[in-house]
Amino acid sequence: MRLYWKVVLINGVVLCLALLALVLGPMSVSRSTVASEVLVLAGGLAAILLTNALLLRSSLAPVDRVVRAMAYVDLTGPDGRLAAPPSGPGRSLVDGFNAMLDRLEEEQGTSNAKALAAQEAERHRIAQELHDEVGQHLTVVLLGLKQLEGQVPAAQAAEVAVLRESVRDGLDDVRRVARRLRPGVLEDLGLTSALAALTNDLGRHHPAEVRRVIAPGLPGLASDTELVVYRVAQEALTNAARHSRAKQVTLSLVRIGEGLVLEVADDGIGFDASTSGAGLRGMHERSRLVRGDLRITSRPGQGTTVRLAVPLAVGPS
Amino acid sequence: MTAPARLLLADDHALVRRGVRLILEQEPDLTVVAEAGDGAEAVEVARRTPLDLVVLDIAMPRMTGLQAAREIGRARTGSQPPKLLMLSMHDNEQYFFESLKVGACGYVLKSVADEDLVGACRAALRGEAFVYPGAMSALVRDYLGRLRRGERVPSTVLTEREDQVLKLIAEGSSSKEIARELTIAVKTVERHRANILAKLDMRDRTQLTRYAIRAGLIEP
Ligand SMILES: Nc1ncnc2c1ncn2[C@@H]1O[C@H](COP(=O)(O)OP(=O)(O)OP(=O)(O)O)[C@@H](O)[C@H]1O
Ligand SMILES: [Mg+2]
């Protein structure tokens, strides 16, 4: 609204001045216009337009900047914010725009957090049911078949043995799926054990030497922060295994000041700073949920280091 | 013949308990004298019943198997506390190490309970550790890592065969797979496994726990 009035005012003032100049000035326009008069009129018009343009320019410049920023803004950090002019309607426009970005980012953050939390809860429920229902029933069948095998004639016993192996495979599958869905160790035994399990898994399936440096006696974290640390470590280790061709991968978790620092470093092929992907984005997103600070440093041929620092005392947002 | 060992069986799933019981009772040297449906009940029963061995499911309501194991291990003062064996759905060596830490001497995966449980009970009663295969591969890999980095490790002389078995265990192969790979009997593989553990000073609960702590696999 104020911008609108400012434009009206500028136009009004310029036109009034032109009118005054016309009334009070020495020039006149004859019924059949002569060339010299046209020249003066053209000059006057040009002067009006120029004054108007100059005055409007400074007022409307912020609008252009906001429009440009809207096209390119990236809601992932404070870099997208515009510098506000010192005063005037442009300032309130830019301030309003920046506030809107803040709000959007905030809302996106909460809805991401909600989505992630809902996803984790759902995984948790499914894994639990797999373990507690399907797994138990299969165990009953497995043990029952073993029992049966000793009681039937040899011909049938062989058949029962085949069934028993098949049930065992089913049980293994259930367990594997449940384990992928939910880091049961994290909940039951804590972060240290869960990270140790992750590095063991990697060591088992990958030729790289996996080293683990976990400081003893680390203070506990809020449970959602632990989950974030775990998921970031999981993604970083998976990436190292899948892409890095490293000879050595080191995971460390230490306390530095008022924070806990997770570091996953490999000596592999590294990657370009412009690389992006769902995994890398997911790490950033999760880290932001718990006010963590995530840095990924990598250069082609130089290996990769993923470093996540999370605050100790404060909980989630 | 000596009297059969007295067992307490704790699992929250009644049918699983029944299945385990049937398997154990086929053995003349084992008898199930009590059952419990959760951790707290197991602690309660263990307090008033003389027992040689307690088999605990890890995931139980009211009190988990791990918590119950800790309680049972520390409750008895006068007589010898019963040996503890964990039964679990989780194929994860960290549960094994945690079990050692709370005083259990073995860990049996439910999906191989039909094959391994009886043997594990007997090992536990003898005071030996029953090392679950996933944990053994983690331990062996750590050992090999130390060896490569030139750290001080228990000086051992493994036979060539044992060395082959060791490498395969480190890669996560099961006894069956190793037997096939080396064209030897599964029983022979098991014997090599036992010998390797003995030579690496990982025979019983105390030694294993010490090693796992040093390897950073569990917190002290
Ligand atoms: N430790 C690493 N060493 C070398 N390259 C890596 C490493 N981590 C990531 N990269 C590169 O970055 C890309 C993006 O990684 P990102 O984790 O986002 O996706 P992804 O692993 O390919 O798939 P996913 O979404 O399943 O994680 C990878 O495809 C890979 O080229
Ligand atoms: Mg990835």
Is the domain of B34 the same as that of B93?
A: yes
| Contact flag A217-B219 (C-beta cutoff 8 Å) | yes
Query: How many separate domains does chain B show?
Result: 2
Does A270 contact ligand 1 (Cβ within 6 A)? yes
Domain boundary among B77, B106, B138: B138
Residue B38, domain member (yes or no): yes
- Residues B89, B189, single domain; the answer is no
CATH number for the domain harbouring residue B54: 3.40.50.2300
Which of the ligands is closest to the CA of residue A243? 1
Percentage of chain B lying above the pLDDT 90 cut: 36
pLDDT at A110 over 60: yes
Are B138 and A147 an interchain contact pair (Cβ–Cβ within 8 Å)? no
CA distance B218 to chain A (A): 6
Through-space distance between the first and last CA atoms of chain B, rounded to whole angstroms: 41
Q: Is the CB of A206 under 6 A from ligand 1?
A: no
Note whether residue B149 is domain-resident.
no
Q: Are residues B100 and B13 in the same domain?
A: yes
Average of per-residue pLDDT across B197-202:
84
CB of A271 sitting under 6 A from ligand 1:
yes
Q: How far is CA A275 from CA A234, A278, B136, B196, in A?
A: 19, 11, 39, 46
Q: Which of B201, B147, B196 is nearest to B168 (CA)?
A: B196
Query: What span, in angstroms and rounded, lies between the C-alpha atoms of A306 and A175?
Result: 30
| Ligand 1 touching residue A300 (CB < 6 A) | no
Judge if B105 and B166 occupy the same domain: no
CA A276 to centroid of ligand 1, rounded, Å: 8
What residue has token string 């259930």? A174
CATH number at B196 reads: 1.10.10.10
A163 near B CB under 8 A: no
**For residue A317, what pLDDT is reported?**
39
Is B209 contained in some domain?
Answer: yes
Does residue B181 belong to any structural domain of this protein?
A: yes
Residue B116 lies in a domain: yes
Tokens describing residue A202: 């990697």
Average pLDDT, chain A: 85
Q: Are residues B164 and B127 in the same domain?
A: no
Q: Is the distance from the beta carbon of residue A266 to the nearest atom of ligand 1 less than 6 Å? A: yes
Answer yes or no: do B83 and B173 share one domain.
no
Return d(Cα A298, Cα A234) in angstroms, integer.
Answer: 18
User: Which atom belonging to ligand 1 lies closest to the Cα atom of A280?
Assistant: 18
> Is there a single domain that holds both residue B18 and residue B125?
yes
Q: 3-state class of A261 per DSSP? A: strand
DSSP state of A313: S
Taking the CA of A282 as reference, the closest ligand is 1
- Is B145 within 8 Å of A197 when comparing Cβ atoms? no
A87: which residues sit within 8 A by CB, 6+ positions away? none
Does pLDDT of A313 surpass 70? no
Distance CA A186, CA A97 (A): 42
Ligand 1 atom with the shortest distance to the CA of A303: 3
User: Do B204 and B107 share a structural domain?
Assistant: no
Domain span including residue B105: 5-138
A146 has pLDDT over 70? yes
Q: Which residues of B touch A185 (CB under 8 A)?
A: 90, 92, 94-95
- Please name each of the domains of chain A with its CATH number: 3-108 (no CATH), 183-317 (3.30.565.10)
Is the Cβ pair B90, A168 closer than 8 Å?
Answer: no
CB B46 within 8 A of CB B9: no
Ligand that comes closest to the CA of residue A276: 1
Instruction: Kindly state whether residues B92 and B191 are assigned to the same domain.
Output: no
Q: Provide the residue type at A122 as one letter.
A: E
pLDDT digit string, tens, across residues B19-68: 999 999 989 999 999 999 999 999 999 988 889 999 999 988 888 999 99
Q: How many CB atoms lie within 10 A of CB A164?
A: 20
User: What atom of ligand 1 comes closest to residue A268's alpha carbon?
Assistant: 3
pLDDT at A80: 65
Which of B20, B25, B110 is best to mutate for the A interface (most A CBs within 10 A)?
Answer: B110
The pLDDT, as a whole number, for residue A315 is 43
What is the Å distance from ligand 2's center to A240 Cα? 8
CA distance to partner chain A, nearest, from residue B128 (Å): 24
Residue B143 resides in a domain: no
Ligand 1 in reach of A284 Cβ (< 6 A)? no
- In this structure, is the dihedral angle defined by the CA atoms of residues A61, A63, A64 and A69, taken in order, positive or negative? positive
- Alpha carbon distance, N-terminus to C-terminus of chain A: 36
In a domain, B154, yes or no: no
Residues B117 and B21 placed together within one structural domain of the fold: yes
B28 and B124 share a domain?
yes
CA of A280 to the centre of ligand 1 (A): 7
Query: Does residue B78 surpass a pLDDT of 80?
Result: no
Q: Which residues does B161 contact at the CB level (< 8 Å), separation at least 6?
A: B182, B192
When CB atoms are compared, the residue of B58, B93, B111 closest to A175 is: B111
Element (H, E) at A162: helix A154-181
Q: Are residues B107 and B209 in the same domain?
A: no
Q: Which of ligand 1's atoms lies nearest the C-alpha of A271? A: 5
Q: How far is the CA of A284 from the centre of ligand 2 (A)?
A: 12
Q: Which of A271, A274, A296, A306 to mutate to test the pocket of ligand 1 (most atoms within 8 A of CB)?
A: A271
Please determine, for residue A182, whether its predicted confidence score (pLDDT) is greater than 90.
Answer: no
Chain pair A-B, CB pairs under 8 angstroms: 108
* Cβ–Cβ below 8 Å for B22 and A147: yes
Q: Would residue B20 count as lying in a domain? A: yes
How many angstroms separate the CA atoms of B7 and B65, rounded? 15
What is the average pLDDT across A157-180?
91
Confidence class for position A53, pLDDT limits 50, 70, 90: confident
Q: What ipTM goes with this model? A: 0.85
